[in-house]
């Protein structure tokens, strides 16, 4: 009988260990589940904190925007004198006309500016006029190029 008693003891011990194993596995599953829950809670808290920070930054920006808009409304709509646009530059175009056959003697003084005997005439042209002239020339050249191929 002692062999049978030993077998029963071993089977009983095995049953206890299997029960303990199941219990440990269940506890492990519960702990893993609790761990996942806590990780989610921590993640949610971090996101919530980030959202609070972003909302605070947004409210500061909105307040500054309102303040600046109010400052603009309070100022008169006329532009200040200091920020007036700079005057437009004028470019000069030099047109050289053919010189007369008789050149002035080197000992003579330079002719006065209104005199047209010198052979050089200087004309002031506004930037806009110069740009329009250049655009017109380039448009004509474009048209010529288009017609050459057709």
Q: What is the pLDDT of residues 87-119, one digit of tens each?
A: 565 555 555 555 555 545 545 445 555 545 556
Beta bridge pairs of residue 92:
124
Residue ranges in the chain modelled with pLDDT below 50 = 103, 106, 108-109, 115
Q: Which residues contact 128 (CB under 8 A, 6 or more apart)?
A: 88
Helices (H) and strands (E) in the chain, counts: 2, 2
Structural domain boundaries of the chain? 1-77, 88-99+116-150
Question: What pLDDT score was predicted for residue 75?
Answer: 78
Question: What pLDDT score was predicted for residue 108?
Answer: 47
Question: What pLDDT score was predicted for residue 97?
Answer: 54
């Amino acid at each position: 009988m002692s062999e049978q008693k030993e077998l029963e003891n071993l089977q009983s011990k095995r049953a206890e260990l299997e029960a303990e194993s199941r219990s440990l596995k269940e506890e492990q599953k519960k702990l893993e589940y609790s761990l996942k829950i806590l990780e989610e809670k921590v993640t949610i808290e971090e996101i919530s904190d980030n959202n609070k920070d972003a909302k605070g930054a947004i409210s500061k920006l909105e307040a500054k925007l309102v303040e600046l808009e109010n400052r603009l409304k309070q100022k008169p709509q006329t532009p200040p004198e200091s920020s007036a646009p700079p005057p437009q530059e004028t470019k000069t175009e030099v047109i050289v006309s053919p010189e007369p056959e008789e050149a002035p003697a080197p000992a003579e003084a330079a002719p006065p500016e209104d005199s047209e005997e010198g052979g050089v005439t200087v004309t002031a042209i506004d930037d806009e006029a110069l740009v329009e002239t250049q655009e017109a020339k380039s448009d004509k050249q474009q048209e010529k190029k288009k017609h050459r191929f057709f």
